[in-house]
Amino acid sequence: MPDARQTRLAVLGSPIAHSKSPLLHREAYRELGLDWTYEATEVTGERLPAFVRALGAEWRGLSLTMPLKRDVLPLLARRDDLVHLTGGANTVLITEGGLVGFNTDVYGLVEALRGSGVVRVSAVQLIGAGATAASVLVAVASLGATEVLIATRSPEKATALLELATSLGMSATASGLSGRRGDFVADLVVSTLPGGTRVDLPLPAEVLSGATLLDVAYDPWPTPLAARFLDAGGSVISGLEMLVNQALAQVRIFVTGSAQTPVDDEARVLQAMRASIGLAPSSR
């Protein structure tokens, strides 16, 4: 459990000015009656070790965006099981024993899907091959996925993801962003590409209109891929849904020391967090 004197938090990344994490976290701590600060700080991977070394006793924890999710790994004293599995940590708790790394992206992805009515999946098309892609594989495996097609600019760099998918019990293949496997029809498409990225990925009309797209990006919105699904009458989940749910798990860690321990009156806290970034109330 963090020391009571630790009241300072931040989200780190580059670029970071667009981040909505400060809105989410500040609202959560206000609802909990905690006089904590949470800011957005521009930090590159090269600067991360020096930044961490300079942290004072008032620091409680950090949220991390790419590429820091992997850059932070050598700095951690301990890692949770999901960090070991995915190879990335998006949350750091500062303790007397050193930095403890957590992955809350998996929780955020699962809750974003479940909250939108997607409780079971079978065939998944994953776009992108970064650290978040590994979290996607763990998330969809927990929802029953048996087959995944990984579309990335460099399929030869998807080896680790293919191995992870296989270890999770899924059949997995990789392709380029311009290729198409004619026998593959996804019921879920997940894009981990940065917001604004335009990809002319060939998708059959039955996928655009019948599958669900979870696009982890949220700024600008809609993304070009989300616009394709919306134009075809398909179902689209914004990255804001993942963002708010993974942030709730971070709040749990910073307040209780565990991603599994709910905070007091958590349903009220979650609704306040959703409202802070313009999301409608959830059924939770």
- Residues with catalytic annotation? 69
Question: Which of these, 59, 70, 62, 53, lies nearest to 21 by C-alpha position?
Answer: 62
Whether the Cβ atoms of residue 242 and residue 112 lie closer than 8 Å to each other: yes
Cβ of 2: how many Cβ atoms within 10 Å? 18
Main-chain phi, psi angles of 259, to 5 degrees: -75, -15
Give the Cα separation of 217 and 196 in Å (integer): 8
Give the Cα separation of 88 and 252 in Å (integer): 19
Main-chain phi, psi angles of 171, to 5 degrees: -80, 130
What kind and span of H or E run contains 62?
strand 59-64
Give the Cα separation of 92 and 99 in Å (integer): 6
Give the Cα separation of 42 and 13 in Å (integer): 5
Give the Cα separation of 6 and 254 in Å (integer): 10
Give the Cα separation of 38 and 30 in Å (integer): 11
